[in-house]
């Protein structure tokens, strides 16, 4: 950096270069400035996110019942008791495994579909692309509540249009078929809603990334005789990889915490087979009134997500170093 002096803008507006001679007072003040500027944000975050999080962690180490909730008394200290009973409960690990599987399925489907949509958008004519963008934004703007209700009606056993459509195929009888009786099929429908809602964001981000791939680079590769697969792997993919990693990580975080779609599709009364970590924590807290056990499940969920976030950050650092 700075080996070649470029004719820059006037000195006065330029940020000061690192001073060689110590100018203590002014430097301190200037160094403090960014911190002062970010302080309101940090304080707001601490108040809005930090306080509830600390409260949640505290709650998970206490034994909060409704008696304490209603009277305002401090709940007794429970130490690690909740964590011990949750971690030794086989059902908890079933839910963890189910959540992980669900996340992987949703993220994989989302990414593959979005990549295909994004690649398609490069090929189509301008107005088709505009229409596609409009449709994607409309889907993105659709509230989860509405989307989940519509999917629920579509897959209704008695009057659902899905059963009717499948029934039109020769040799298939789907009348009265209940999609939620078998949790695998039920989760397929729920995955459908989640993926349907996530594709727009992923596709538009990937499409933006794809527009950064220089056309002459691809042409050159084609001239050199690269096959389409090779072209994608060696020219296109490296350019969009950072965006893809970002979108994958964000999707994974969202899908790991999916709650609304399941809650709404199961009419607010999910069967045990449909518990994911978010639903399980909510039921423990607010149906069974084991507030502390519910808090402990939530804390464990956050810890698992943090594990995922570490992988993501490392990946980003790795990508940054490679560039």
Residue among 285, 282, 298, 295 at smallest CA distance from 66? 285
* Minimum separation from the CB atom of position 186 to other proteins (A): 10
The DSSP 8-state label assigned to residue 269 in this structure reads: -
Q: Which is nearer to other proteins, 17 or 31 (CB)?
A: 31
* Minimum separation from the CB atom of position 267 to other proteins (A): 7
Of positions 176, 215, 224, 225, contacts other proteins by CB under 8 A: 176
Stretch of 61-69, 220-228, 250-258, 312-320 contacting other proteins, by CB under 8 A: 61-69
* Minimum separation from the CB atom of position 187 to other proteins (A): 15
Instruction: Give every CB contact of residue 195 below 8 A, 6+ residues apart in sequence.
Output: 106, 109, 110, 113
Q: Which is nearer to other proteins, 243 or 290 (CB)?
A: 290
* Minimum separation from the CB atom of position 24 to other proteins (A): 19
What's the gap between Cα 46 and its chain centre? 22
Q: Which residues pair with 77 in a beta bridge?
A: 62
Site string for other proteins, 132-171 (x = CB under 8 A): ------------------------xxx-------------
Triad 312, 190, 133: Cα angle to 5°: 70
115 binds other proteins, rule: CB under 8 A: no
**CB neighbourhood size of 9 (10 A):** 7
Q: Which residues pair with 62 in a beta bridge?
A: 77
Rounded to a whole number of angstroms, the CA Rg of the chain reads: 26
Point out which residues bind other proteins (CB under 8 A): 65-67, 69-72, 156-158, 175-176, 178, 180-181, 267-272, 283, 286-290
């Amino acid at each position: 950096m700075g080996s070649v002096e470029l004719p820059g803008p006037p000195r006065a507006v330029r940020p000061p270069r690192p001073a060689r001679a110590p100018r203590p007072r002014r430097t301190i003040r200037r160094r403090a400035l960014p911190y002062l500027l970010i302080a309101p944000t940090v304080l707001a975050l601490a108040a809005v996110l930090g306080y509830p999080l600390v409260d949640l962690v505290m709650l998970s180490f206490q034994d909060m019942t409704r008696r304490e909730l209603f009277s305002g008394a401090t709940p007794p200290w429970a130490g690690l008791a909740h964590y011990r009973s949750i971690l030794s409960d086989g059902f908890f690990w079933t839910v963890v495994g189910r959540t992980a599987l669900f996340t992987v399925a949703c993220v994989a489907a989302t990414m593959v579909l979005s990549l295909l949509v994004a690649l398609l958008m490069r090929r189509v004519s301008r107005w088709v692309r505009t229409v596609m963008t409009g449709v994607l934004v409309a889907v993105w703007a659709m509230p989860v509540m509405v989307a989940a209700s519509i999917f629920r009606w579509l897959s209704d056993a008695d009057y659902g249009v899905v059963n009717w459509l499948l029934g039109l195929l020769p040799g298939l009888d789907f009348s009265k078929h209940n999609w939620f009786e078998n949790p695998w099929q039920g989760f397929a429908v729920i995955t459908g809603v989640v993926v349907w809602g996530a594709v727009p964001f992923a596709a538009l981000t990937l499409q933006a990334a794809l527009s950064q791939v220089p056309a002459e680079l691809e042409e050159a590769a084609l001239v050199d005789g690269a096959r389409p697969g090779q072209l994608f792997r060696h020219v296109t993919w490296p350019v969009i990889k950072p965006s893809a990693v970002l979108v994958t990580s964000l999707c994974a975080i969202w899908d790991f915490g999916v709650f609304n779609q399941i809650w709404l599709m199961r009419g607010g009364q999910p069967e045990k087979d449909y518990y994911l970590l978010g639903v399980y924590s909510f039921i423990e807290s607010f149906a069974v009134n084991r507030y502390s056990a519910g808090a402990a499940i939530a804390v464990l969920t956050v810890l698992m997500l943090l594990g995922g976030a570490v992988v993501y950050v490392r990946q980003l650092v790795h990508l940054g170093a490679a560039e």
